[in-house]
Structure 1
Amino acid sequence: MAGSFSKSSKSLVNSKKWIIQLGLFLAIAGCASQPPEKKFESSDAPYNIAQNLQRNWEGNPAISSADYHFALAQAYSNEGKVDRAIEEYRAAMAYDQESAILHAKLAAEYLKKGSMSYAVDECKASLKIDPSSVDVHLMLGGIYSLNNETDRSLAEYESVLKMDPKNDEAAVFKTQVLAEKDRIDEALKFIRGFTAKVNDSAAAWYYTGKLEQTKEHTNEAISAYRKALAIRSGFSQASLALGLIFELNKENAKAVQIYEAQLEEKQDIQIAGRL
């Protein structure tokens, strides 16, 4: 099983939906299994999913015990049973100690528990095996940011940008870290340079707008927010930020136009509250 688990995962991290820095949880792949013969209670689900998988694998020498424990770990993770998931990932690792993805999965579970030092160790172990994993670099950068280890956090994001200069997640996270440390000018210079080269990232334009607004560059902020909305219609945060600028400028008709356009795309309580 070393070959199958050690390959890097393109979608380990759901990086835009975790807390600001930790859009870094690993995406859990769905398990293919036969429908259960009876309806199980939620608490029984992980065990039964794995049992169904085990039955499917019987007699197949290509499938090892590592797969069973891995599937069970994912099922427990989906159930929110972090400790059980950790146990099963570790059981799988007993059969495949050189698996980058197993270390990364463990890191994500430790992160859910708030066990930062263990999460860091697992990220490092994963990167030692697969140093090219963008997802794990992003996760480690997020952990360092939460621990206020700014230089280490920035180094992880810069590693990603060296491998993938168009990675907007790394660019946005780097911008956030700099801004949070009141390095506003540095953050703005960086994100301006990024959007000059990568002009199709709604998130990058949105954070450009936020920083321009922080520096009271109103016209530049308006332009950046409009670009974000042109790329991603229904981008609530950008609509709200742009509308509030118009409200502050007493241009209420423009603000209403922005809010109504947003509500046509997607209902949003904050936006509706502005009308």
Structure 2
Amino acid sequence: MADSSWLWDYRRYNLMTYCRVGFLLILTLALLCLSVSTAYPESDGDQGEAYYHYLQAQMEWKAGNLKGAIDQYKKALDYDPQSAQLMFELASALAQQEHFRDSLYWARKSAQLDDSVSVHLLLGRIYTSMGQIGEAIGEYEQIIKSNPEDQESYLLLGMLYAKNKEYEMAVKTLKRLIEKNDEALMAYYYLGRVYSETRLWTEAEKYYLKTLDINPYFEPALFDLAALYEAERKKDKVISMYERIVSFHPHNTEVLIRLGGYYLSEGRFSDAIKQFEEAKKVSPDDTRVLARIGMVYLAEGKYDEAIKELEKALSAKPDEDRARYYLAAAYAEKGELDRAIEEYKKIPEGAGTYVEARIQLANILRRQKRPDEAIAILQEAISSKSIKSELYIALAYAYEDADRLDQAESVLREGIKKLPEDIELQFQLGVIFDKRGEKEKSIAKMKEVLAANPRHAYALNYLGYTYADMGIKLDEAEKMIKEALQIRPDDAYITDSLGWVYYKKGLYDEAIKELEKANELAGGDPIISEHLGDVYYKKGLFPKALESYLKAESAYTKKEDKDKVSAKIEEVMSLLGENSLSDK
């Protein structure tokens, strides 16, 4: 049977009343007999037999035995083969049984004898169910032509136009309905749906809000408006909508989970916990709720509590891979790296968190100075069906750790071959060129990235920093880095780049301001500490320079980096010694 998602709300709210004749089964038998007597004024002979089987069909239908009703209608038609009413009701019963081809046959025969609105409504329903939307549209257009005041048919026709992606006609039809009835709730709602589907967000919002003006509790409009705000990334409005939905449906687990998730993303941990705890009361065995409580504790740095909740979720549902992913992350943050590795390895290929898990597993191995194992893990993941740019980039990092830059370049080129439109792979290739000392190739690659995406913050920053480090095009470098900061305003490394440009320009006070901010944001990155030491040195602030250089030296891992900053430390200590002697 064809998808009829455009019709679900309408059916749910009982607004469709197809098959009006013969469907009022709550009538008393006396009234039923009276209506049938009208259809068969003379009840002798074949007409009497037809009348008898017709009555039996009605009784079978009322008893819920559609198959029996169909058999009786067919027997009635044996005695009265030209009865449009019998054909119509047989078609209706067959449609109820989802025997649409047979239903269509009898509905068409009925229409040939009695071209009534009821028959066209039934035909419209059958065509819709069979996925023949064009034919269904034709039936409702014919109904409206013969009965322009039939509001229900305008609605159904508008819905069908929308389902058929004839959006302009859908809008036109639904607005005609509103002209006839400015309180037609479903017309406003479906106009919102049409505009949402065509990504005309402002119009969609207007009609959803009008729907909710008419009925503030109308659930589909509430959820669709929340989804619209999600598409527009208007978090405040999304949260407001879900809060409103929760006030109407405080025991809806899905809504509580969604609202809690948004609170979590905004760092409102106590609010998130409150929603998840409410969801837990409603659905105590829902492992998603337990996992999300664990995620809140993880975000708060309460690793033991996070582990406890996540292990509860996994004991109830061992294949809950997202819970296992966060359990591994909790162990990693707690410093129990072997347990983290163990949990990450349990996440199977094909799981939604498989790629993320393999990358995090490789990162832990890199931290433990086990680059060859990290490389093997990532190569295995790439050889699976998981072709993701993140895997190629992570493998390039692992090769870089092992000082195998040629292989890092090769794996990135392999990724680009498979994912030629992926800008991040191109960007990382430019980084590798830079690390090999191929500045011109790096600059050309960053320009290529920016040609594809002029708002790529990291490419803007990288190119600007490269110019600054080379001492060239400093004004252009400053402009690029400031543009990158507009895109990512609190990025420590972009802030460091701006400070470095100021340093290269000799604007040391401005440089100190930006580099101190970057140092605070990054929490002790050795490159930023070294840059800060350099500008303190230029300003003659030797104690501060020494402090920054010592921090950089302790944080650097590569010998050449340590040696470079050690030389600076010796020079500053020498100057401090000279100053001490001169003071004496």
* Structure-1-length-normalised TM-score: 0.70
CA contact (8 A) 1:82 1:113 kept: no
Tell me how far apart the structure 1 counterparts of residues 204 and 305 of structure 2 sit (CA, whole Å).
Answer: 41
Among residues 181, 197, 220, which one is paired with 2:339 in the alignment?
220
CA contact (8 A) 2:291 2:309 kept: no
Partner of 1:18: none
Residue 268 (str. 1) matches residue 388 (str. 2): yes
1:192-231 matched pairs, under 5 angstroms = 192-229=311-348
Question: Which has a greater percent of helix?
Answer: 2
Partner of 1:114: 234
3-state secondary structure, aligned to 1:71: helix
Displacement of 1:131 after TM fit?
2.6
Among residues 122, 146, 163, which one is paired with 1:33 in the alignment?
163
Equivalent residue letter for 1:218? L
3-state secondary structure, aligned to 1:211: helix
Tell me how far apart the structure 2 counterparts of residues 143 and 170 of structure 1 sit (CA, whole Å).
Answer: 14
Tell me how far apart the structure 2 counterparts of residues 234 and 149 of structure 1 sit (CA, whole Å).
Answer: 25
Partner of 2:12: 4
Q: 1:253/1:165 Cα in 2 relative to 1: closer, same or farther (>3 Å)?
A: farther
Equivalent residue letter for 1:227? K
Q: Provide the identity percentage.
A: 17
3-state secondary structure, aligned to 1:132: coil
CA contact (8 A) 2:226 2:238 kept: yes
Partner of 1:21: none
Tell me how far apart the structure 2 counterparts of residues 107 and 72 of structure 1 sit (CA, whole Å).
Answer: 16
Displacement of 1:197 after TM fit?
2.2
Residue 152 (str. 1) matches residue 152 (str. 2): no
Tell me how far apart the structure 1 counterparts of residues 171 and 213 of structure 2 sit (CA, whole Å).
Answer: 18
Among residues 111, 119, 124, which one is paired with 2:243 in the alignment?
124
Tell me how far apart the structure 2 counterparts of residues 233 and 97 of structure 1 sit (CA, whole Å).
Answer: 37
Aligned pair count reads 234
Moved more, 166-175 or 199-208: 166-175
Among residues 216, 220, 229, which one is paired with 1:101 in the alignment?
220
Equivalent residue letter for 2:294? T
> Unaligned regions of 5+ residues in structure 1, if any?
6-30, 37-44, 59-63
Q: 1:229/1:151 Cα in 2 relative to 1: closer, same or farther (>3 Å)?
A: same
3-state secondary structure, aligned to 1:229: coil
Tell me how far apart the structure 2 counterparts of residues 148 and 216 of structure 1 sit (CA, whole Å).
Answer: 23
Displacement of 1:259 after TM fit?
1.3
CA contact (8 A) 1:228 1:238 kept: yes
Q: 1:269/1:235 Cα in 2 relative to 1: closer, same or farther (>3 Å)?
A: same
Q: 1:156/1:90 Cα in 2 relative to 1: closer, same or farther (>3 Å)?
A: same
Tell me how far apart the structure 1 counterparts of residues 268 and 346 of structure 2 sit (CA, whole Å).
Answer: 32
1:157-176 matched pairs, under 5 angstroms = 157-176=276-295
CA contact (8 A) 2:332 2:340 kept: yes
Q: 1:133/1:249 Cα in 2 relative to 1: closer, same or farther (>3 Å)?
A: same
CA contact (8 A) 1:201 1:228 kept: no
CA contact (8 A) 1:229 1:238 kept: no
CA contact (8 A) 2:358 2:377 kept: yes
Moved more, 209-218 or 249-258: 249-258
> Unaligned regions of 5+ residues in structure 2, if any?
1-8, 14-160, 178-182, 397-584
4+ residue runs of structure 1 moved beyond 6 angstroms? none
Residue 240 (str. 1) matches residue 359 (str. 2): yes
Tell me how far apart the structure 1 counterparts of residues 314 and 258 of structure 2 sit (CA, whole Å).
Answer: 23
Q: 1:240/1:181 Cα in 2 relative to 1: closer, same or farther (>3 Å)?
A: same
Residue 185 (str. 1) matches residue 193 (str. 2): no
Displacement of 1:172 after TM fit?
3.7
Partner of 1:139: 258
Equivalent residue letter for 2:321? A
Displacement of 1:267 after TM fit?
1.4
Higher RCO (C-alpha under 8 Å, 6+ residues apart): 1
Q: 1:166/1:237 Cα in 2 relative to 1: closer, same or farther (>3 Å)?
A: farther
Equivalent residue letter for 1:196? S
Equivalent residue letter for 1:67? M
Q: 1:84/1:167 Cα in 2 relative to 1: closer, same or farther (>3 Å)?
A: farther
Displacement of 1:166 after TM fit?
4.7
Displacement of 1:225 after TM fit?
0.7
* Structure-2-length-normalised TM-score: 0.36
Displacement of 1:231 after TM fit?
6.6
CA RMSD of aligned residues (A): 3.4
Partner of 1:13: none
